[in-house]
Amino acid sequence: MLLTRARHETVILVPIGDADDPTPPPAEFDAIAQRLREAGVRSLELSAAASRHGLTPNLL
pLDDT surpassing 70 at residue 36? yes
**DSSP state at residue 60:** -
What type of residue sits at position 48? A
- What confidence score (pLDDT) does residue 39 get? 93
Segment 40-45 long-range contacts (CB within 8 Å, at least 24 positions apart): 41/12, 44/11
- What confidence score (pLDDT) does residue 29 get? 87
The answer to whether the predicted template modeling score (pTM) of the entire model surpasses 0.85 is no
Greater confidence (15 vs 50) lies with: 15
